A and B are shown apart, each in its own frame.
Chain A
Amino acid sequence: AQSVTQLGSHVSVSEGALVLLRCNYSSSVPPYLFWYVQYPNQGLQLLLKYTSAATLVKGINGFEAEFKKSETSFHLTKPSAHMSDAAEYFCAVSDGGNEKLTFGTGTRLTIIP
């Protein structure tokens, strides 16, 4: 069985500061990992995904995530937060192939002016 744990349901950072959203996964096979973002009153958008290629994955809007097998982690980072980054972020895992995504519970990111 696969699972995802997102540490911190709420994260607040100052504008211009580093954004770090944590995600740890559990999977019995090499996983596919995803980060999604949901802005207010909108559907999910894919930020980035890891599918066993490069361990450092770059996504949209300046976000990136690093797959660390030894730590079973896939933390999302952005060097400098913008006000427009305020949203809900979801980490998700799939065992690949036909397995559906399992989502974490989400982290709400607030940006402090």
Chain B
Amino acid sequence: SAVISQKPSRDICQRGTSLTIQCQVDSQVTMMFWYRQQPGQSLTLIATANQGSEATYESGFVIDKFPISRPNLTFSTLTVSNMSPEDSSIYLCSVAKGLRAFFGQGTRLTVV
């Protein structure tokens, strides 16, 4: 199994600013995933982060807007840059260990 600590759990930010979300796992994992859940929507994968290489972004997401760090096998950060109200969402970190997926508690972001 894997236990994921994600923080902050929520934040209210001014437009034009940036927020960095942290994800800490209690064991080493190869792959970490960042998701976004917009209000009333399902989960959407933003990017996949592997240690030692650049993150792989899904269609519609770019590194300049969502830079990701993966400095080691237990930690990753997602930054939401130059925020606008459209970025108000829940951001979720996830790890895969073989066929199993484990999730952080999510970060509820409100941009005003």
Contact = CB atoms under 8 A, between A and B. Distances in A.
B54 to A, nearest CB: 16
Nearest to A110: B99
Given A100-B90, A100-B92, A40 B99 contact: yes
Interface of B: 30-31, 33, 35, 37, 39-40, 42-43, 45, 48, 90, 92, 94, 96, 98-101, 103, 106, 108
Chain B binding surface, main DSSP class: strand
B43 A46 contact: yes
Interface residues on A, range: 20 to 34
A42 to B, nearest CB: 8
A46 B42 CA distance: 8
Contacts of A75: none
A103 B96 CA distance: 15
